Amino acid sequence: MKFSKRKIKKSILDILVYIVLFIIVIPGAWIIFTSIRPNVEINAYPPVWIPSKITFEEYRQDFFSHGLQEQAVPIRNYLFNSLTVAISSTIMALLLGTLAGFAFARFNFKGKDTLFLTIILTRAVPGIALSLPLFMLFIKWKLVDTLLGLSIVYIAYNIPFTIWIMDGFFREIPQDIEEAARIDGCTKWQAFIKIDLPLSTPGLAACGIFAFLMAWNEFQLASVLTRSLSSKTLPVGLFDFTSEFVMNWRGMCAMAVIMFIPAIAFTFLVSKNLVKGLTFGAIK
């Protein structure tokens, strides 16, 4: 009898999981459906849940229309800018942050803990507080509206987190392994490349996904530091679908789907390492 009681409890909880996840998924699903449904169904009353007809009109218009159509949003330029900035800044932040994290984990020097905490806390500075003074400095440095300028900003924002996680990973690797390698004639640098780095892949993966998502989704700084097609990114481009009186909801949803594909692909790619990377490096 006890067995079946347990089984009932389990199935109730299982159903609860599906309900909760269904609620979580609704906003995302609504966006996908809106991007492929006929225009008349958008904002229809009563709401139409499942599209009656699937149309890729919006994608065709935004992505494959040549010429200067009035309604077309230069989504390809935005996509190119977003990819360039997100990928280059992620790689650089990982590179610089990993080197610094290694230094923090393996060397002792005066003021180490204070420097470490100071670097981490720079990440907590809100973008809104930085964007305007940064804009004024960028005018002087000729970095406004450039992909380089935006990338540097995202590198600076992602370094602290990388240092924090990678420091945790490197400290967990026993010194003995590295010493053994050095007795065998490895230099400190070779030991770093051949031993420490491969052992901390989960940390790298976790930092990578965080840096990528931050750069990919960031809006505040990008909206101030970018002006034109040469550097505007996708989140800033969302505003192209708004005008004073009407919103092109279907266009915005199509763009949201485009934005979502690289984010989800990248997350799936590293998802196995993500959680281990985040918690291992930070706990120990």
Partner 1 sequence: MVLKKERYLPFFLIIPSVMVILSIVAFPLLFSLYVSFTSYSLLDPHSMVFNGLENYLTLLKDSIFWHSLLNTVIFLTVGLNSELLLGLGIALLLAREIRGGRILRTIAMIPMMFAPALVGFQFKWFFNDQVGLVNNLLYSLNVISKPILWLIGPRLSMLSILVAEIWRGTSFMTIIFTAGLMSLPKDPFEAAEVDGASGFKKFRYITFPLLSPFVFIAMAIRSLDIATAFDIVQIMTGGGPAHRTELMWTYVYRLSIVDTQFGLGCAMSYVTVIISVLFAFYLFKQLIKARR
Residues 207-226 that bind partner 1 (CB under 8 A): 213-214, 216-220
Does position 91 bind partner 1 by CB under 8 A?
no
Q: How far apart are CA 248 and CA 262, in angstroms?
A: 23
Q: Which of residues 42-71 bind partner 1 (CB under 8 A)?
A: 43, 45-47
CB of 124 to partner 1, least distance (A): 4
Does position 33 bind partner 1 by CB under 8 A?
no
Q: Which of residues 143-172 bind partner 1 (CB under 8 A)?
A: 152-153, 155-157, 159-161, 163
CB of 191 to partner 1, least distance (A): 12
Q: Which is nearer to partner 1, 80 or 260 (CB)?
A: 260
What does the DSSP 8-state code read for residue 58? H
CB of 67 to partner 1, least distance (A): 28
Closest CA to 264 of 204, 202, 212: 212
Using the structure block, give the residue that is written with the tokens 């990973």.
169
Residue 204's alpha-carbon distances to 208, 212, 269, 276, in angstroms, are 6, 12, 13, 11
Q: Burial letters for 212-227: b for 16+ Cβ neighbours within 10 Å, e otherwise?
A: bbbbbebeebbbbbbe
Q: Which is nearer to partner 1, 184 or 189 (CB)?
A: 189
Does position 126 bind partner 1 by CB under 8 A?
yes
C-beta separation of 95 from 162 below 8 A: no
Instruction: Please enumerate in sequence order all residues whose Cβ is within 8 A of that of 201, keeping only pairs 6 or more positions apart, or say none.
Output: 273
In the set 59, 75, 88, 97, which binds partner 1 (CB under 8 A)?
97
Q: Which of residues 228-247 bind partner 1 (CB under 8 A)?
A: 234-235, 238, 247
Q: Which of residues 174-203 bind partner 1 (CB under 8 A)?
A: 188
Does position 134 bind partner 1 by CB under 8 A?
yes
How many residues bind partner 1 (CB under 8 A)? The answer is 85
CB of 78 to partner 1, least distance (A): 12
What phi and psi values does residue 247 have, to the nearest 5 degrees?
Answer: -115, 135
| Residue 132 CA to its chain's centroid (Å) | 23
Using the structure block, give the residue that is written with the tokens 């100071």.
118
Q: How far apart are CA 150 and CA 222, in angstroms?
A: 7
In the set 1, 8, 13, 54, which binds partner 1 (CB under 8 A)?
13
Furthest C-alpha separation in the chain: 78
Does position 3 bind partner 1 by CB under 8 A?
no
CB of 130 to partner 1, least distance (A): 6
Q: How far apart are CA 63 and CA 80, in angstroms?
A: 12
CB of 158 to partner 1, least distance (A): 10
Q: Which is nearer to partner 1, 68 or 87 (CB)?
A: 87
Does position 17 bind partner 1 by CB under 8 A?
yes
CB of 161 to partner 1, least distance (A): 7
What phi and psi values does residue 242 have, to the nearest 5 degrees?
Answer: -105, 145
Query: Which of the ranges 59-67, 125-133, 172-180, 193-201 carries the binding residues for partner 1, by CB under 8 A?
Result: 125-133
Say how many C-beta atoms besides its own lie within 10 A of residue 198's C-beta.
9
